[in-house]
Amino acid sequence: MPTDATPRSPQRDSLPPSPFPTDDPILKQIGNTPMVSYPGLEGERLLCKLESENPTRSMKDRIAMGILTEALQAGAYDTVVEASSGNTAGAVALVANRLGVPCKLTCPEGTSPHKIGYMKAFGAEVHTCPDVDSDHPDHYRAVARRLADEEGAFLVDQYHNESNPEVHYRWTGPELWAQAGAEMTHLVSAMGTGGLLSGSARYVQEQAEQAGRDVTVVGVDAERSNISTAFYGEEPVPYDTCVEGLGKGGDLPTMWFDYIDEMRDVPDERAFQQARTAAQEHGMPIGPSAGAALSVGLDISRAQPDARVVTIICDGGEQYFDTLFDV
């Protein structure tokens, strides 16, 4: 078995076809991302699905591609709007650019220049909003809803649009099963909107059941966040985490808890340190939320030597160099 981060087969040329076919040479690069064995462990005990290989270095390219192409084909819009302080904004900007439709994005003050750079690089109109409570009319999500209403635009609404997990059910899940279904015992991913893990887990669980096997699905949240509390029916805690991309809220329409077996919380510093270790010791630059997921994948692999753990690396580390390495 390989002990370095070399790709496993099948890879891009032999994975299931995209459910969102396109002739666009840039959009064709979304999806069919590689899976590699994590070099920090011997053998293929921990496998990493590198969503950082998408064009904007994030799995959010998938939902932008799936949601926008199908809505455009249905005649749902001629302008797109989304609220995002993270990777979704850049993904929506890219896909809207290639589809030839105007794009308006809202984000809070303090959004990293790197992420705003993605938005502006693809020609999106960016509205920076004050960092206020979510019930304030100037909150960036409220502004996005207002823009969409005023202009009759299509609001992606990644936190409430069930097309989010549906895209991953139709696209990411089949890839995971093709790459590791024969041996996968655990599937691990960070949860923000919950769409990535929910949709992927539903597909994997269905396939495992048909094969007469069990796959344990583990969601990863921050220590001071409220996806885990919602999952276990506990009282919410004050949200306070520095890890971008891990969820704030409780149960959302994009979180299909029926397909998730357990949640694990990771302290901020461990998430950041794991991301640094992956880059500095193993040549794998990843973001802090992926670091949180990877730390849980490592815990499972070390505790259960016979397990074959698949961890989804939801984005690359380039967007976080300023917070990870003080550049």
Q: Which of 155, 173, 203 is the last residue of a domain?
A: 155
Residues 241 and 188: beta-carbon distance below 8 Å: no
Residue 7 lies in a domain: no
Domain shared by 311 and 170, yes or no: yes
User: Which amino acid is located at 265 in the chain?
Assistant: D
Domain shared by 190 and 291, yes or no: yes
Domain shared by 53 and 67, yes or no: no
User: Which amino acid is located at 226 in the chain?
Assistant: N
**Per-residue pLDDT, 12:** 53
Q: Which of 155, 172, 195 is the last residue of a domain?
A: 155
Domain shared by 54 and 82, yes or no: no
| Number of structural domains in the chain | 2
Of 321, 316, 320, 325, nearest to 48 by C-alpha is 316
**Per-residue pLDDT, 327:** 42
Domain shared by 43 and 188, yes or no: yes
**Per-residue pLDDT, 246:** 86
Domain shared by 127 and 236, yes or no: no
**Per-residue pLDDT, 6:** 46
Domain shared by 26 and 112, yes or no: no
Q: For residues 267 and 271, give the distance between their C-alpha atoms in angstroms, rounded to a whole number.
A: 6
Per-residue pLDDT tens, the chain, 327 aa: give them.
334 444 444 455 578 999 999 999 999 999 999 999 999 787 789 999 999 999 999 999 999 999 999 999 998 789 999 999 889 999 999 999 999 999 999 999 988 888 888 899 999 999 999 989 889 999 999 999 999 999 999 999 999 999 999 999 999 999 999 999 999 999 999 999 999 999 999 999 999 999 999 999 999 999 999 999 999 999 999 988 989 888 776 778 999 999 999 999 999 999 999 999 999 999 999 999 999 999 999 999 999 999 999 999 999 998 888 888 864
Asked whether the CA dihedral 251, 254, 258, 264 is positive or negative, the reply is negative
**Per-residue pLDDT, 9:** 44
Domain shared by 54 and 66, yes or no: no
Q: For residues 28 and 65, give the distance between their C-alpha atoms in angstroms, rounded to a whole number.
A: 10
3-state secondary structure of 94: helix
Residue 3 lies in a domain: no
121: domain range?
61-155
Residue 2 lies in a domain: no
Cα–Cα distances in Å, from 192 out to 87, 94, 120, 180?
A: 11, 21, 24, 24
Domain shared by 43 and 113, yes or no: no
Residues 198 and 260: beta-carbon distance below 8 Å: yes
Domain shared by 149 and 79, yes or no: yes
User: Which amino acid is located at 190 in the chain?
Assistant: A
Q: Which of 136, 155, 174 is the last residue of a domain?
A: 155
Tens digit of pLDDT for each residue in 49-102? 999 999 999 999 999 999 999 999 998 789 999 999 889 999 999 999 999 999
Residue 5 lies in a domain: no
DSSP helix, strand, coil percent of the chain (3-state; round to 5): 40, 15, 40
**Per-residue pLDDT, 13:** 55
Element (H, E) at 222: strand 216-222
Domain shared by 75 and 222, yes or no: no
Query: How far from chain centre, in Å, is Cα 36?
Result: 18
Domain shared by 219 and 318, yes or no: yes
Residue 241 lies in a domain: yes
Q: For residues 75 and 142, give the distance between their C-alpha atoms in angstroms, rounded to a whole number.
A: 24
